[in-house]
Amino acid sequence: MRCLLARFPFWVFFLLCGLGHISTRSGLGCAMSAFSDKEDEAVVKTMKDFGPIQDAYAFFEAHTTEEVIIRNELERLWRQDGALSLPLSILDFGTGAGDMLERFLTQLKIPKEQLSIGVVEPVEVAREVAEKRLVPHSHGRVASWAAIPAGSVAPFDRILSNHVFYYVPDVGKAVADLKHVMHEGSKLYVVMASDRNHLLVAWNDYFAMLGEPVPFHRSGELEAALGVNRLDYEVHTVHSELAFEDTLENRTLIARFLLGDDNFRKFKGDEATQYLGRYRDEASGQIIMQLEDHIFVAKRKQ
Ligand SMILES: C[S@@+](CC[C@H](N)C(=O)[O-])C[C@H]1O[C@@H](n2cnc3c(N)ncnc32)[C@H](O)[C@@H]1O
């Protein structure tokens, strides 16, 4: 088992969230209480608190192929785009504790002398961990902010944002802020689940069952915001899977992961876990959910 404290796994992140301090992540399920960052006074609202569901999030991570598939597709796109012409500056918007970016940089094997890194993460404790974790990959210090600074900032060659846009308060403003740190040749890579992703289908169905609107942004809103901000973009689609043994305990973990405990508790009886039965594969005795994600690759109009 990996050294948990050294790696600052997300369960620590979640635990801290539980203390009312920060937000948390998942492929789809990042969640925040409203919080205020001390330095930047950034206030972010969210509809799902991940603090109490770290076990459910860890279960999701352990049973999905999503991150590896996204990293591999990103690497293919980056190399195809000539992204590895060096030196390179990279910004990770909504980096969390930097886990995914660190694994991606390790995979890319860019010499640290050739790489400058910036991170944006409104959760202070996570941002500090990301900063420390990424130092070994970066030439000089890692630039780190709670939000994109309004003033003058050197632009980045590549900007990554993996499963973050569901939770930003204003998608149009987030895209405008990122455009602010792009030069003519910069590329922006934003990953969001497609509407066909079974986790998003489940969000729709669950909140319909509750008679409430889904409280998270969708990829369609990102597309509109890219257009409004006059960014050209293309979309690449990747497929991965969530598969787990079909037990009531496991169904409960995934339902809680999707809904957060507050919403999960709104369901009467076993409605929320029953729902997942539609994804049961009789041959294997597993629940198998197909995950479809879009990778938006955007650049300034020439
Ligand atoms: C699902 S997590 C993804 C974390 C990381 N990108 C990864 O792939 O591991 C979403 C992240 O977005 C961050 N976030 C939420 N609202 C944000 C905002 N307005 N600006 C930047 N990041 C935000 C959260 O704090 C969280 O770390």
**Cis peptide bond N-terminal to 136, omega within 30:** no
- Mean pLDDT along residues 192-216: 95
Q: Is 159 exposed, middle or buried (CB count within 10 Å of its CB: 0-12, 13-18, 19+)?
A: buried
Q: How confident is the model at residue 255 (pLDDT cuts 50, 70, 90)?
A: very high
Bridge partner residues of 43 (DSSP): 36
pTM of the complete model = 0.84
Q: How confident is the model at residue 49 (pLDDT cuts 50, 70, 90)?
A: low
CB 159 within 8 A of CB 93: yes
Q: How confident is the model at residue 83 (pLDDT cuts 50, 70, 90)?
A: low
Nearest-atom index, ligand 1, CA of 121: 22
Provide the pLDDT for residue 161. 97
Does ligand 1 come within 6 angstroms of the Cβ of 286? no
Distance in Å, CA 131 to ligand 1 centroid: 15
Q: pLDDT tens, 96-124?
A: 889 899 999 999 999 999 999 999 988 88
E strand intervals along 201-269? 231-245
Phi, psi of 171 (to 5 degrees): -65, -45
Q: pLDDT tens, 170-191?
A: 999 999 999 999 999 999 999 9
Q: What is the mean pLDDT of the chain?
A: 84
Nearest-atom index, ligand 1, CA of 28: 1
Per the structure, the complete domain to which residue 263 belongs is given by 4-300
Query: Measured between alpha carbons, how far is 280 from 278 in angstroms, rounded to an integer?
Result: 6
Provide the pLDDT for residue 165. 94
For the chain, what is the domain count?
A: 1
Question: One-letter amino acid identity for 69?
Answer: I
Provide the pLDDT for residue 82. 64
Q: Which residues contact 142 (CB under 8 A, 6 or more apart)?
A: 117, 118, 119, 130, 131, 134, 135
CB 266 within 8 A of CB 210: yes
Q: Is 142 exposed, middle or buried (CB count within 10 Å of its CB: 0-12, 13-18, 19+)?
A: buried
User: Which tokens in the block code for residue 150?
Assistant: 């309004």
Minimum CA distance residue for ligand 1 atom 18: 168
Q: What is the CATH number of the domain that holds 146?
A: 3.40.50.150
Minimum CA distance residue for ligand 1 atom 23: 94
Provide the pLDDT for residue 14. 39
Does ligand 1 come within 6 angstroms of the Cβ of 94? yes
Query: Measured between alpha carbons, how far is 68 from 80 in angstroms, rounded to an integer?
Result: 18
Q: pLDDT tens, 214-241?
A: 988 999 999 999 999 999 999 999 999 9
